[in-house]
Amino acid sequence: MKVAQRYVSLLLLTLMLVAACAKKDEAKKNKPKMVPVTEAVAVQKDVPVLLTSIGNAEPFSTVSVRARVGGQLQRIHFREGQDVNKGDILFTVDPRPSEAALRQAEAALARDTAQMENTKKDAARYEELVRNGYVAQSQYEQLRANADALQAVVAGDRAAVDNARLQLSYCSIHAPIAGRTGSLLVNQGNLVKADDEKALVVINQIQPIYVGFSVPEQQLPEIKRQMAEGPVRVSASTGQAEGNAAEGTLTFIDNTVDRATGTIRLKATFENKDRRLWPGQFVNITLRLATERGATVVPTQAIMTGQKGQQVFVITPDSTVEMRPVTVTRAINGETAVKGVSPGERVVTDGQLQLVPKAKVAVKGKAAR
């Protein structure tokens, strides 16, 4: 009897333990699952209004150097790709034909000057004789006309001498601008023609330098307004690093909108002292128009795009999340200015794909800004 009672007691105890364990497992099953997420706090800050585009560096000025006189290219005074200053001698064309032409013109000038002086003296003597009635008036007038004609000949000779000197000066070809030379298009020893279409070398001025780019025509009124208020700053970068950006100023707006693309052509001028920009190079352009004061900013990775537009998950004080529709105004450097979130609210930046509204979250870290 006592043994039976003992077995009954053990059985009841076992049943009670099993029931307790089952209740504990049920409670665990019903407990909401915590989703691990990363959060960031929405902050209020000033955000620059930026306009981005792809630009192309262009020489500030380009000169194709050509010969003004024909002859043999006697000497080249520079190396390909060399920097030259304005006025530096670049080429020498054989000057001997021009020197001979100059000496010939000078000789003709000396001859005609002597004849003119002699004729003037004869005319002066005949003026005295005609006054005293010793010679006919017509003889004097003929000498006077000869003297005037020779004076005109001498003036023509002087012009010929000046032209010969000019042609001789063309034998030395100087750099019309400061810049960097390109490839030689004619080698030493070749014959060159006067005013030939083929250039000897091309010089590009790269300090300063232009960068041309296009923006949508809808941005034109704001750009014109900013230019009226003061210089508009433009940044040009060749890579992702911001420290690689060159700073310039917007200096040109084209006078026509391209009807085919709906864009307007702009140019910015860069000092380019470090020669970071090179003609023909493609660069990323950032045009700073204005600053949006007191914007609410969240990390860009917090923004999700759903069927109803852009939205974020906001973490409430009880560690649940709510889905909040937002309006994006602009994005810059991994941050996005939005409307629909207040400064100080916490938003989910990682783990959104596992979330639904009212889900419990466990914050595992802060998003890096």
Model pLDDT for residues 266-291, shown as the tens digit of each residue: 999 999 999 999 999 999 998 888 77
pTM of the shown model: 0.68
Q: How would you write the chain as a 3-class SS string?
A: CHHHHHHHHHHHHHHHHHHHHHHHHHHHHHCCCEEEEEEEECEEEEEEEEEEEEEEEEEEEEEEECCCCCEEEEEECCCCCCEECCCCEEEEECCHHHHHHHHHHHHHHHHHHHHHHHHHHHHHHHHHHHHHCCCCHHHHHHHHHHHHHHHHHHHHHHHHHHHHHHHHHCCEEECCCCEEECCCCCCCCCEECCCCCCCCEEEEEEEEEEEEEEEEHHHHHHHHHHHHHCCCEEEEECCCCHHHCEEEEEEEEEEEEECCCCEEEEEEEECCCCCCCCCCCEEEEEEEEEEEEEEEEEEHHHCEEECCEEEEEEECCCCEEEEEECEEEEEECCEEEEECCCCCCEEEEECHHHCCCCCEEEEEEECCC
Per-residue pLDDT, 238: 83
- Which of the two residues, 102 and 354, has the higher pLDDT score? 102
Q: What is the pLDDT of residue 288?
A: 83
pLDDT higher than 50, residue 132:
yes
Residue 14: band (very low, low, confident or very high) from pLDDT cuts 50, 70, 90:
low
pLDDT at 368 over 90: no
pLDDT for 11 equals 58
- What pLDDT is stored for residue 208 in this prediction? 94
More confident residue, 10 or 183: 183
Least confidently predicted of 15-29, 151-165, 306-320, 351-365: 15-29
Interval 48-99: pLDDT, tens = 778 889 999 999 999 999 999 999 999 999 999 999 999 999 999 999 999 9
Residue 22 is predicted with a pLDDT of: 53
Residue range 308-337, pLDDT digits in tens: 788 988 988 888 888 889 888 877 778 888
Question: Tell me, what's the pLDDT at 7?
Answer: 57
Amino acid 111: pLDDT: 92
- How confident is the model over 199-211, as a mean pLDDT? 95
CA-based nearest residue to 149, from 181, 175, 112, 199:
112
Instruction: Tell me how far apart the alpha carbons of residues 39 and 312 are, in angstroms, rounded to a whole number.
Output: 11
Confidence bin at 46 (pLDDT 50/70/90):
confident
* pLDDT above 70: residue 218: yes
Task: Quote the pLDDT of residue 27.
Answer: 43
221-255 pLDDT per residue, tens: 989 988 888 899 999 988 755 557 899 999 999 99
